[in-house]
C-alpha cells in the first residue's frame, strides 16, 4: 500500500522525537502557562488559516461552526430553518462547518446547504465554504473496502465528490487497527475522495506514532478551553515540531463560559440556569474536576471584566484566548441552527486583542485550578478511561 510521506517525516521522526526524549523535554506546565501565539499561516487579518502537510492544504475559518447540536438534546431542529441559518453564518464570513457521521442529520443538512450555495451564490463564494466531518467507527478490522464504504456514505450525505477534511477517531488504542484505517484513508485522499486527513481526540503518544508511520495528517481536534489547558502541556510541543495544527472544541464549555452563568449558584435547586443540554452537563463535570463552581465564578468575573473593557462578551474572550495558544489553528463554537445565533459575538473574535494585563488576570485565576492532565490524562483520555 502506497502512503505519501511529508518531507519532514522522511527522516526518522522516532530519532528526532523519541518518546523518551520527547517526554523528558516536555515542560510540566500547569494551567496558567504563558499564552504563546502559534506560528501558522493566516490570511484576511486572522480570519482564516491554511492547514498544510506536504502537498495537502486546506484553508478554513479560524472560528468554526460546530454541528454537534443538530444531533438532539439542544432542541428540535427544523431542516429548512437550519439550512437558512447555515447560509446566514456563511454570509457573515463564518464559512467552515464541522460535523460527524454520528451527529444526527448534520451531514445531510450540509448537503442541502451546499446545494443552496451552488445555486444561489457565486463560484468564488462556494470556494470559501468548507465542510469538515468525522468518522467514528467501531474498533473492528479496518479493511480497504470497509473504510471506503463508510467514506462514500459521508460523501453521498454531504453531496460532495471529495470531503474537504476527514477527521478520524479511534476508541481503543490496544487495537492498532487505527493505523490500517489511516493508511486506507490516505489512499482515498490520493484518489481524490478526501482532500485532507486529520484526527480527533488522539493523544500525543499516538499522534507521534501516526506521524512516524507516514500518515500526512494536518490537524488533531481536541478539547481545549481556558479551564482545560491540557493540549498546551504535551500536544502543542509535538505540533510545533511537526507542523500539525490543533482545532479545538469545548472552548466556551457548552455555554458555561458566558454571562448566563455569571453570579449563579448551581448548588441550590432551581436557583440558577438549568444544565439542560448534553454539552452543559459534560463541561460542568470538567469544572468540577478542575476546581469547582466557586473558582469557576471567579474566572467568570475576571473574564467579564475583560469583556467589558473591550466591549465584547465572555465567550468572545474565551475563544480569543484559546486561539492565541501554541499550535491552535481554529476553535469551534457550537451552533443551534434555527434556534439561536451568535454571529456578532463570533465575528468579534477576529478583532479582539488581549493584552498582557488581560492574560495575566486570567492566569491568576486558572493557576488556582487543578492540572487536568494529572486528573484526566492527555487529550482524548476522557473518552477512553473505564
Which CATH number belongs to the domain containing residue 346 in this structure? 3.20.20.100
**Residue 365 maps to a domain:** no
**Angle in degrees, CA 92, 96, 102, rounded to 5:** 130
**Residue 114 maps to a domain:** yes
Query: Residue 25 has what pLDDT?
Result: 39
Spatial contact of 185 and 155, defined as CB atoms under 8 Å apart = no
Alpha helices in the chain (DSSP H): 13-16, 19-25, 79-91, 106-120, 123-128, 144-158, 177-191, 204-212, 235-242, 278-290, 293-310, 314-323, 343-348, 356-366, 372-375
Asked if pLDDT for residue 302 goes beyond 90, the answer is yes
SS3 57: strand
**Residue 195 maps to a domain:** yes
**Residue 133 maps to a domain:** yes
**Residue 212 maps to a domain:** yes
Read off the pLDDT of each residue in 298-303 and give the average, rounded to a whole number.
98
Return the residue matching grid coordinates 467579564: 304
**Residue 246 maps to a domain:** yes
Task: Please indicate whether residue 214 or residue 37 has the higher confidence score (pLDDT).
Answer: 214
- In the chain, the number of structural domains is 1
**Residue 366 maps to a domain:** no
Q: What is the pLDDT of residues 330-344, one digit of tens each?
A: 999 999 887 888 999
User: In this structure, what C-alpha cell is assigned to residue 232?
Assistant: 498546551
Q: What is the pLDDT of residues 371-381, one digit of tens each?
A: 999 999 999 99
At 20, the pLDDT band (50, 70, 90 cuts) reads very low
pTM of the predicted model as reported, rounded to 2 decimal places: 0.88
Q: How many CB atoms lie within 10 A of CB 153?
A: 13
The boundaries of the domain holding residue 57 are 45-252+322-353
Q: What is the pLDDT of residues 215-238, one digit of tens each?
A: 999 999 999 999 999 999 999 999
Asked if pLDDT for residue 94 goes beyond 70, the answer is yes
Query: Residue 340 has what pLDDT?
Result: 86
**Residue 30 maps to a domain:** no
Q: How far apart are CA 314 and CA 259, in angstroms?
A: 6
Among 15-19, 104-108, 175-179, 287-291, the minimum mean pLDDT is found in: 15-19
Closest CA to 10 of 46, 40, 53: 53
Spatial contact of 352 and 320, defined as CB atoms under 8 Å apart = yes
Amino acid at each position: 500500500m502506497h502512503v505519501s510521506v511529508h518531507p519532514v517525516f522522511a527522516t526518522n521522526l522516532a530519532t528526532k522525537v523519541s518518546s523518551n526524549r520527547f517526554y523528558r523535554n516536555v515542560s510540566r506546565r500547569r494551567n496558567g502557562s504563558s499564552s504563546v501565539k502559534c506560528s501558522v499561516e493566516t490570511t484576511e487579518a486572522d480570519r482564516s488559516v491554511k492547514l498544510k502537510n506536504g502537498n495537502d492544504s486546506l484553508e478554513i475559518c479560524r472560528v468554526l461552526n460546530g454541528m454537534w447540536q443538530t444531533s438532539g438534546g439542544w432542541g428540535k431542529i427544523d431542516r429548512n430553518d437550519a439550512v437558512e441559518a447555515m447560509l446566514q453564518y456563511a454570509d457573515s464570513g463564518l464559512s467552515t462547518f464541522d460535523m460527524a457521521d454520528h451527529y444526527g442529520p448534520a451531514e445531510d443538512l450540509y448537503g442541502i446547504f451546499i446545494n443552496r450555495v451552488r445555486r444561489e451564490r457565486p463560484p468564488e463564494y462556494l470556494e470559501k465554504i468548507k465542510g469538515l466531518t468525522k468518522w467514528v467507527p467501531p474498533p473492528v478490522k479496518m479493511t480497504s473496502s470497509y473504510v471506503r464504504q463508510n467514506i462514500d456514505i459521508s460523501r453521498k450525505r454531504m453531496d460532495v465528490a471529495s470531503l474537504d477534511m476527514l477527521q478520524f477517531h479511534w476508541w481503543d488504542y490496544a487495537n492498532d487497527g487505527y493505523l490500517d484505517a489511516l493508511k486506507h484513508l490516505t489512499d482515498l485522499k490520493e484518489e481524490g475522495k478526501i482532500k485532507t486527513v486529520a484526527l480527533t481526540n488522539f493523544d500525543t503518544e499516538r499522534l507521534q506514532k501516526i506521524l512516524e508511520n507516514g500518515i500526512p495528517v494536518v490537524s488533531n481536534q481536541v478539547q481545549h478551553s481556558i479551564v482545560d489547558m491540557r493540549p498546551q502541556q504535551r500536544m502543542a510541543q509535538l505540533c510545533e515540531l511537526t507542523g500539525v495544527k490543533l482545532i479545538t472544541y469545548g472552548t466556551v464549555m457548552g455555554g458555561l463560559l458566558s454571562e448566563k452563568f455569571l453570579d449563579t449558584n448551581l448548588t441550590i435547586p432551581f436557583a440558577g440556569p438549568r444544565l439542560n443540554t448534553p454539552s452543559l452537563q459534560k463541561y460542568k463535570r470538567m469544572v468540577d474536576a478542575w476546581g469547582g463552581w466557586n473558582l469557576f465564578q471567579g474566572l467568570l468575573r475576571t473574564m467579564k471584566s475583560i469583556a467589558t473593557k473591550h466591549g465584547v462578551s465572555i465567550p468572545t474572550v474565551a475563544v480569543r484566548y484559546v486561539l492565541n495558544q501554541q499550535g491552535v489553528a481554529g476553535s469551534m463554537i457550537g451552533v443551534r441552527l434555527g434556534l439561536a445565533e451568535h454571529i456578532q459575538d463570533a465575528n468579534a473574535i477576529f478583532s479582539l486583542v488581549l493584552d498582557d494585563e488581560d492574560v495575566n488576570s486570567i492566569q491568576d485565576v486558572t493557576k488556582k485550578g487543578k492540572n487536568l492532565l494529572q486528573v484526566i490524562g492527555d487529550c482524548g483520555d476522557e473518552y477512553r478511561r473505564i
